[in-house]
Each structure stands twice: as C-alpha cells, then as structure tokens.
Amino acid sequence: MGGRILLIEDEGNILEAITFILSRAGWEVQGHGNGATALDAVRRVAPDMVVLDVMLPGRSGLDILRDLRADAATADLPILMLTARGQAKDRETALELGATGYLTKPFSNADLVATIDRLAADPAGHARGAG
C-alpha cells in the first residue's frame, strides 16, 4: 500500500495521531486544518485519498464532500469521512453525498488503517465504514 492522503482535520491532536498512524502504515499524509480552504488544498496536493472531518471551522465537511463530488476531477476520489457526532442520520447523509467510507470518532487505529486500505483497494467506493 501507499499513496498520498490529504487529511482535513481541525483538532491538532487528532491530526497528529492520524498522521502518525497512517505514516507508519506507509502513507504519505498531508494535513490541513481549515474547512474554508480545503478545496484548494485538495487541488494543490492532488491526493490519492481524502480523510475528511465533518465538523470543521469555516466550512462543513459535508459541503466540501458535495463540492468534491460535483467536480469531475475528484468525482471518483476515495473519501473517508470522520465524524464525532455519532448519529446514524449523519452517516446516511454522508453516504448519500458520495462518501466512500465513514468512521465515527473515537475509532481504533486498526480500524482506521483497515478502512483506508480497503478504500484504496476498492476505489469504486462500496462504502463499508466501520462503526
């Protein structure tokens, strides 16, 4: 496995933890902490996969997801949504908007890595997120 992952997450500690975990798993991770400039970051970084937090300052992760899916360049990009709101409705909304995977915080590191690997192997996006 390997490739570039753009991680959009405003919580510094979480950003640091995920970066550490995925780096160990062989990914090149780029972090970005602001929702408002997230789309620019995607264009600039051109990642193989995006890990996107839902509650971001400046712009909601769901809005960013919608825009990414509307853009032909990123329409098929695997996107893993992370959310701390833990409500079933949010998960449904995310999948409807075209999220490839979905994880609820807090998650186990093993789940995170396994989900990322699965999304990388199956970029068509049969969304099967854990928990």
Partner 1 sequence: MLSFDGLVAVCVLYVLMLFGIAFLAEKRAAEGKARWLNSPITYTLSLSIYTTAWTFYGAVGSAVRTGLEFLTIYLGPTLIFIGWFWLLRKMVRIGRAQRITSIADMISSRYGKSGALAALVTLLSVLGATPYIALQLQSVTLSFSVFASPGAFGTPDAEQTAIWVAAGLALFTIIFGTRSLDVNERHPGLVSAIALEAIVKLTAILTVGIFVVWGVADGPADMLARIEASPVSQASWNGARWLGLTVLAATAILCLPRMFQVLVVENSDERHLATAAWAFPLYLLLISLFVVPIAVVGLEIFGTSGNPDLFVLTVPLSMGQQGLALLVFLGGFSAATSMVIVAALALSTMLSNHIIMPLWLRLTRHDDPMSGDMRRVALMARRLSIGGVLFLGYGYYRLSGGADALADIGLIAFLGVAQILPALLGGILWRGATRIGAALGIGSGFAIWAWLLLIPNVAETGGLITPVLEAGPFGIGWLSPATPLGLQATDPLLTAMILSLGVNTLLFILGSLLSFPSPLERLQGAQFVNVYDHSRPLYGWQGAVGMADDLLIMAQRILGAGRAGRLFQAAAETQGRPGTLPDLTPDFLQRLEREMAGSVGAATAHAMVAQIIGGASVSVRDLLAVADETAQIMEYSSQLEAKSTELAQTAARLREANAKLTELSRQKDAFLGQISHELRTPMTSIRAFSEILMQADPVDDAARARFSRIIHDESLRLTRLLDDLLDLAVLEHGRVTLHEGETSLGDVLDRAIRSAGAQVGTEQLAIRRDPAAEAVTLWTDADRLAQVFINLISNAQKYCDADRPELTISVQQRPGRVEVEFADNGSGIPTRQRALIFEKFARADTAKGAPGAGLGLAISREIMARLGGGLSYIPSDSGVRFRVRLPARALRAA
| Total of residues contacting partner 1 (CB under 8 A) | 23
CA distance 81 to 65: 9
> Whole-number minimum distance, CB 76 to partner 1, in Å?
28
Q: Of residues 64-103, which lie at the interface with partner 1 (CB under 8 A)?
A: 84-87
47: left (phi over 0), alpha (psi -120 to 50) or beta: beta
Tokens 């975990």, located at residue: 21
Distances in Å between the Cα of 90 and the Cα atoms of 8, 57, 79, 85, 104 are 18, 17, 15, 8, 10
Q: Of residues 34-63, which lie at the interface with partner 1 (CB under 8 A)?
A: 55, 57-58
11 binds partner 1 (CB under 8 A): yes
DSSP label at residue 72: G
Q: Which of 4, 31, 48, 107 binds partner 1 (CB under 8 A)?
A: 107
Interaction site with partner 1 (CB under 8 A): 11, 13-14, 16-18, 20-21, 24, 55, 57-58, 84-87, 104-110
